[in-house]
Structure 1
């Protein structure tokens, strides 16, 4: 049974099943699917899972998504670990046992192969993903800004759905 904090925004069309936990001030956007059916999924606080993303697990590989994470549109996260203050670009795929360490980024369209580690402060891009460069200080600061922006977007979307704007 999912455990979802009271102040989580769930957009219409979201499907969540199984052993899923979602932390405070997070947002799950339109038509995303979160399947904790064969293992658990933990999503931290102030994390946003954008439209059409798929989060799933295997019997041996749970999925852990940290705090203040931005998961772009149409991302697939499968049995991996995404640490705090990271960004997974639009259409990115992160596969079983891969780890995206704190303050790192997976570029749009990248495929992070099973077991690969994206070290802290690095940008991974390509198919398969490779470490391309160090992130700048400004890029890493943007991870927190993105988390806060999406909290605000969720409040605006909720107001729109309730006819308040």
Structure 2
């Protein structure tokens, strides 16, 4: 079964010969748009009305990571001073609703809050958090387990191991939730509360 056949409710398009690669255990929700050089890993989920556009560089979403409703992923292409910036999402990452992630890297178990913006050549370290509504300006690096807040984002504090573990809980919950949504969609039903 082709990717398009598995997710007939989403827009999955090639661009200049590059076709999205979506693992057989991943979930893509209705209204999502996935274009070009995009790889979505095992048990990862891309939720309602997200856009992942890998046209001038690549996008990778690691295993069990979730890209929540309305989020936008794009990339920075090559230019005279750089080879460009792909968007690379590690494993077990959480990207909150309406986030913008543009040409940056999230290490494993990184968290981007609702409405946050992470710009070109940024790196969010393992178990680190960019808080809801924050703006991480180009080239900034958040070290592992740190929380950054504000516009522009600045260091707030370091998370303890229990707080980092909550990110893993969120990814596990989203894996289970994706299975439930997929089951209803493949049974010919929209999830409860949705309109056709």
TM-score (norm 2): 0.82
For residues 76 and 142 of structure 2, what CA distance do their matches in structure 1 show?
21
Larger radius of gyration: 2
Unaligned ranges ≥5, structure 1: none
How well do the aligned residues superpose, as a CA RMSD in angstroms?
1.2
For residues 42 and 81 of structure 1, what CA distance do their matches in structure 2 show?
10
1:12-161 equivalence runs, <5 A? 12-59=30-77, 60-161=84-185
For residues 184 and 132 of structure 2, what CA distance do their matches in structure 1 show?
29
Shift of 1:58: 1.2
Unaligned ranges ≥5, structure 2: 1-18, 78-83
Shift of 1:86: 1.2
- Residue 34 of structure 2 aligns to a residue in which SS? strand
**Which structure has more RCO (C-alpha within 8 Å, separation ≥ 6)?**
1
- Tell whether 2:33 aligns with 1:2: no
Q: Deviations over 1:58-114 (max 9, x none)?
A: 111111000000000000000000110111100010000000010101100000000
For residues 103 and 182 of structure 2, what CA distance do their matches in structure 1 show?
30
- Residue 152 of structure 1 aligns to a residue in which SS? helix
Greater CA drift, 113-122 or 154-163: 154-163
Q: Deviations over 1:118-159 (max 9, x none)?
A: 100100100000010011222100111111000001011122
- Residue 37 of structure 2 aligns to a residue in which SS? strand
For residues 45 and 60 of structure 2, what CA distance do their matches in structure 1 show?
13
For residues 111 and 153 of structure 1, what CA distance do their matches in structure 2 show?
28
- Residue 108 of structure 1 aligns to a residue in which SS? coil
TM-score (norm 1): 0.97
